[in-house]
Amino acid sequence: MADAAQEFTADTEQAPDAAKDERMATRRKWLLRLLIVVLVLGALYGIWYVLVGRNHVGTDNAYVNAEIAQVTPLLSAQVTEVSVTDTQAVKKGDILVKLDPTNARIAVEQAEADLAEARRRFRQTTATSGALSAQVTARGADIAQARAQLATAQADFEKARIDLQRREALAPDGAVSGDELTSARKGYAAAKAALDLARAGVAQAEATRVAAAGQLAANDALVKGSTEDTDPAVLAAKAKLDNAKLDLERTVIRAPIDGVISKRQVQIGQRVTQGSPIMSIVPISQVYVDANFKERQLRRVKVGMPAKVTSDLYGGDVVYHGRVIGFAGGTGSSMSLIPAQNATGNWIKVVQRVPIRIALDPRELAEHPLRVGLSMEVDVNVSGR
């Protein structure tokens, strides 16, 4: 009995040790399996990183952007019609707003009258040149007539001079009476006066012809080398008319691009001023993505590299394909309204982000439109493939 009791006691003491050893063996087995799984996963990650991961850089700090068109009136007038509302899609050339055209129409009519007046003045100037040319010819005839009168006066003067000389020569002998001598002297004086008058007439006729020729030259300078359509005054009036017609066309404001109306700030009856924004048009078919990458991520990124982009709006099932088209001229903080100033003793280095622009495939945008400001996730393939 004593031997049996001792054997039972020994078996009872060995049982916990055996169970403990079995648990330790099981634990080592699972730890070994876990180690193998971790090593396999690490090897798989290493293979993935070597083959794929190291050739990709990504960020979720990216947003949709676009070249938004500001619609502004080009003249001041009262609004008579508003044809669009916010969120409405429009095509290039669609009518957005109509302005009161009354003043513009009056300006067109005034410009048309000014153009007609300029044409009339050109025709009048052309006709005046013909009249002045005739006057120059007439003044030439007057000069010929004055010269003929001068020749007659010269002949009369020579005759009167000779007659006076003869009578003065005979007067001492008493062959000529005093009255006859006096009459000869008067005739001589009258002939001399007539000669002076004839000479003055020739000078006056010549001066009149010079004046007429000057007027003709001045008038010809206004029309020489020009036609009614190329006359400077007519061209200026045409330009004024074109400008008035352009202002009349601008009373109808049309969409400059395809897109969606946003921020409409105009109502019927409102008087808008030239250059004041009245609405915006977002070209949703031409949006792009501005992705803010950390500076260390951009070591291998180049313009033209392919990128995959997903949107929080559609989730990961919709993937946009694009390309890097440019880098910003500075970091986001340097381009902010109040740039950071790090010239202090408490300076701490902060990783900077540089915006890069990703152009998206237009066909994919047409299938899944995006809106400005949406959050995006960008993955750039730096291998270029």
Span 83-141, pLDDT tens digits: 999 999 999 999 999 999 999 999 999 999 999 998 888 787 777 766 767 776 776 77
Question: For residue 240, is it within any domain?
Answer: yes
Which residue is it, tokens 């088209």? 325
Question: For residue 95, is it within any domain?
Answer: yes
pLDDT average, residue stretch 343-350:
63
Q: What is the pLDDT of residue 70?
A: 94
For residues 323 and 195, membership in a common domain is answered with no
Question: For residue 370, is it within any domain?
Answer: yes
For residues 109 and 241, membership in a common domain is answered with yes
Question: For residue 153, is it within any domain?
Answer: yes
> Which one of 127-131, 276-280, 378-382 scores highest in mean pLDDT?
276-280
Position 31 pLDDT exceeds 60: yes
Asked if 115 and 267 count as a contact pair (C-beta separation under 8 A), the reply is no
Which residue is it, tokens 């501005």? 290
d(C-alpha 350, C-alpha 293), whole Å: 13
Q: How confident is the model at residue 221 (pLDDT cuts 50, 70, 90)?
A: low
pLDDT average, residue stretch 70-75:
93
Asked if 277 and 340 count as a contact pair (C-beta separation under 8 A), the reply is no
For residues 108 and 241, membership in a common domain is answered with yes
Q: What is the pLDDT of residue 250?
A: 93
Mean pLDDT rounded to a whole number for the chain: 82
- Both tokens of residue 232? 């400077």
**Chain-centroid distance, C-alpha 153:** 77
pLDDT average, residue stretch 288-298:
90
> Which one of 16-25, 180-189, 372-381 scores highest in mean pLDDT?
372-381
For residues 63 and 151, membership in a common domain is answered with no
pLDDT average, residue stretch 372-384:
87
For residues 360 and 382, membership in a common domain is answered with yes
End position of a domain, from candidates 245, 271, 292: 245
For residues 137 and 264, membership in a common domain is answered with no
Provide the domain limits for residue 159.
104-245
For residues 87 and 135, membership in a common domain is answered with no
Q: What is the pLDDT of residue 220?
A: 64
Q: What is the pLDDT of residue 272?
A: 93
Instruction: Look at 97 and 47; give whichever has higher pLDDT.
Output: 97
Q: Are strands 56-65 and 89-90 parallel, antiparallel or unpaired?
A: unpaired
For residues 96 and 114, membership in a common domain is answered with no
Question: For residue 43, is it within any domain?
Answer: no
Of the candidates 129, 120, 116, the residue with the CA atom closest to the CA atom of residue 221: 129
Q: What is the pLDDT of residue 378?
A: 92
First-last CA distance in the chain: 86
For residues 162 and 237, membership in a common domain is answered with yes
Position 165 pLDDT exceeds 80: no
Q: In what order do the strands lie in the sheet with 69-71?
A: 69-71, 279-282, 259-262, 89-90
Specify the 3-state DSSP secondary structure of 13. Answer: helix
Question: For residue 352, is it within any domain?
Answer: yes
d(C-alpha 257, C-alpha 279), whole Å: 13
Q: What is the pLDDT of residue 73?
A: 94
**pTM of this structure:** 0.65
Position 13 pLDDT exceeds 60: no
Q: What is the pLDDT of residue 27?
A: 80
Which residues are CB-contacts of 135 (< 8 A; sequence separation ≥ 6)? 212, 215, 216
pLDDT average, residue stretch 139-153:
77
Q: What is the pLDDT of residue 175?
A: 62
pLDDT average, residue stretch 263-268:
93
For residues 366 and 290, membership in a common domain is answered with yes
Asked if 281 and 256 count as a contact pair (C-beta separation under 8 A), the reply is yes
Asked if 99 and 80 count as a contact pair (C-beta separation under 8 A), the reply is yes
Q: Are strands 95-99 and 77-82 parallel, antiparallel or unpaired?
A: antiparallel
Of the candidates 291, 293, 300, the residue with the CA atom closest to the CA atom of residue 55: 300
For residues 355 and 329, membership in a common domain is answered with yes
Which residues are CB-contacts of 41 (< 8 A; sequence separation ≥ 6)? none
Phi, psi of 376 (to 5 degrees): -135, 160
Give the C-alpha distances (Å, rounded to integers) separating 369 from 125, 286, 335, 364.
66, 10, 29, 8
Of the candidates 144, 139, 142, the residue with the CA atom closest to the CA atom of residue 212: 139
d(C-alpha 230, C-alpha 350), whole Å: 68
Q: How confident is the model at residue 335 (pLDDT cuts 50, 70, 90)?
A: low
Alpha-carbon radius of gyration of the chain: 54
CATH of the domain at 336: 2.40.30.170
CATH of the domain at 184: 1.10.287
d(C-alpha 301, C-alpha 381), whole Å: 8
For residues 290 and 197, membership in a common domain is answered with no
d(C-alpha 360, C-alpha 376), whole Å: 12
- Both tokens of residue 10? 């020994």
Question: For residue 33, is it within any domain?
Answer: no
Question: For residue 9, is it within any domain?
Answer: no
Position 4 pLDDT exceeds 60: no
Give the H or E element holding residue 283.
Answer: none
Q: How confident is the model at residue 32 (pLDDT cuts 50, 70, 90)?
A: confident
Residue-wise pLDDT for 307-323, tens only, equals 999 998 898 889 999 99
pLDDT average, residue stretch 195-221:
74
Q: What is the pLDDT of residue 92?
A: 94
d(C-alpha 254, C-alpha 245), whole Å: 16
Q: How confident is the model at residue 78 (pLDDT cuts 50, 70, 90)?
A: very high
Overall domain count for the chain: 3
Compute the residue count for the chain: 385
